[in-house]
Amino acid sequence: MTDAFSREIQAPLGNATDQAAAPIAPISASPVTEDMTIVAAINATLAAEMQRDERVMVLGEDVAISGGVFRATDGLLDKFGSDRVVDMPLAEAAILGASVGLAAGGMIPVPEIQFLGFSYQAMHQLAGQIARFRYRSQGRLPMPITIRAPFGGGVRTPELHSDSLEGQLTNIPGLKIVAPASAADAKGLLSEAIRDPDPVVFLEPLRGYRGVKGPVPDGDYRVPFGSARWVMSGSDVTIIAWSYQVEVARRAARSLAKQDISVGVLDLRSLVPLDIDAVVEAVELTGRVLIAEEAAPTAAFGAELIATITEHAFYSLEAPPARVSGFSTPYPVGMLEDSYVPDQKRIEAGVLRLLELEP
């Protein structure tokens, strides 16, 4: 949080209102905004990027004629034709493996993995190939590929539709991992991802597709990676989150404000690259940090954050950093998932424990 943009969006410290919750456009962007859901922002951004650069193409399962199972690619086939919006055979490794060749051949592929859990069937192409081609070829074969995938639980899907794999993905050097929480960031980060010369896994909040709505700046709007966003400021505890857990954390913080507990919420926006300075600042502000994530906790990204905090901000801690996360089980079936995915109550309880108060 050292650049001008980051300071621009920072709310005044020490109050627990969420006046800073609305995304604020960077100085260069048009002040005109339109309220959109996250999925609408993604759809509009894909169209804008395809319009801007004819090398950009979308490929995946059911992305063309049906417009995507969540309609994220709706209307693109009509606008850009079947050469650039492609329904692929049902094979995740083929979608990502072909993207390698497309990128080498001068295209900018934006493959969709229908649900992030399905990426297990393409992990060898993602981790073993896409992530390493620039390195393997020492710069000859960069991979400007944006892999879009929805993830996260709470919507009663069958198995492997809800899994959070940030831990696995961030452990793969050569991939950037981005996870927007707001409609404005869905636009700004997706534009940034498609124009990035390196592979980006763009994690879309399944529950937030239509559950999160907000103002989206018009025109060209990009959000740089590695610039975390203060959603709200607070002086007692800081919650660090990304993707849909930002929304859950925000609700918890607003509720706790009624008990005069001042909670800040930091949205990381991108996990790789990580805004280390913002994480350090989060610790320095309150000394008490709670990380909210949906994944199983062992070697999850929250563990990485706590390692980062320990390394860079240990002496600013007032209490051991804490996590609210999924559990060390496979993602459970629908009748159990509400106990697995962190909700507002578990986050509130986590905050109270950090303050040594009774939940």
Partner 1 sequence: MVSTLSNEDLLAMHCEMIKARTASDRLWSLQRQGRIGTIAPIDGQEATTVGAAQALDPLTDWVLPQYREPLALGRYGPEVLNRFVAWAIGHPDGGHIPEPIRVFPPQISLATQILHAVGLAWAMKLRNERGVVLVFFGDGSSSEGDFYEAGNLAGVLKVPVIFVCANNQWAISTPTTKQTAAASFAAKADAFGIPGVTVDGMDPVAMHEVVQAARDRALDGRGATLIEAVSYRLGAHTTADDPTRYIPAAELEEARQRDPIVMFGRQLEDRGLWNSELEHDAHASAEQAIDAAWAFATNLPLRQSDLFDHVFAQPTQRQRLERASLEAHLGSTS
- Give contact residues for partner 1 (rule: CB under 8 A): 57, 83, 88-89, 91, 93-94, 97-107, 109, 124-125, 128-129, 134-142, 173-174, 176, 197-198, 226, 272-274, 276
Nearer to partner 1, 124 or 345 (CB): 124
Task: Tell me which DSSP letter residue 205 carries.
Answer: E
Nearer to partner 1, 173 or 219 (CB): 173
**E strand map for 95-171:** 108-112, 146-151
CB neighbourhood size of 211 (10 A): 15
CB neighbourhood size of 301 (10 A): 28
Q: Is 124 a catalytic residue?
A: no
Nearer to partner 1, 103 or 351 (CB): 103
CA distance 286 to 290: 11
Nearer to partner 1, 176 or 269 (CB): 176
Tell me the three-class secondary structure of 239-296, residue by residue: EEECCHHHHHHHHHHHHHHCCCCCEEEEECCEEECCCHHHHHHHHHHHCCEEEECCCC
Nearer to partner 1, 107 or 190 (CB): 107
Q: Which of 129, 115, 205, 137 is nearest to 172 (CA)?
A: 129
Shortest spacing between CB 308 and partner 1, in angstroms? 9
Burial of 150-172, coded b for 16+ CB within 10 Å and e otherwise, reads bbbbbeebeeebbbbbbbbbbeb
Shortest spacing between CB 13 and partner 1, in angstroms? 24
Shortest spacing between CB 138 and partner 1, in angstroms? 4
CA distance 132 to 111: 17
Q: Which residues pair with 7 in a beta bridge?
A: none
Shortest spacing between CB 32 and partner 1, in angstroms? 31
From first CA to last CA, the distance across the chain in angstroms is 32
Nearer to partner 1, 132 or 254 (CB): 132
**What is the maximal distance between C-alpha atoms in the chain?**
60
Containing 9, the helix (H) or strand (E) segment is helix 4-9
Shortest spacing between CB 300 and partner 1, in angstroms? 18
Nearer to partner 1, 199 or 234 (CB): 199
Q: Which of 84, 134, 148, 161 is catalytic?
A: 161
CA distance 197 to 102: 14
Cis check: omega of the bond before 320, within 30 degrees of 0? no
Shortest spacing between CB 26 and partner 1, in angstroms? 19
85 and 127 in contact (C-beta within 8 Å)?
Answer: no
Shortest spacing between CB 214 and partner 1, in angstroms? 28
Catalytic residues: 161
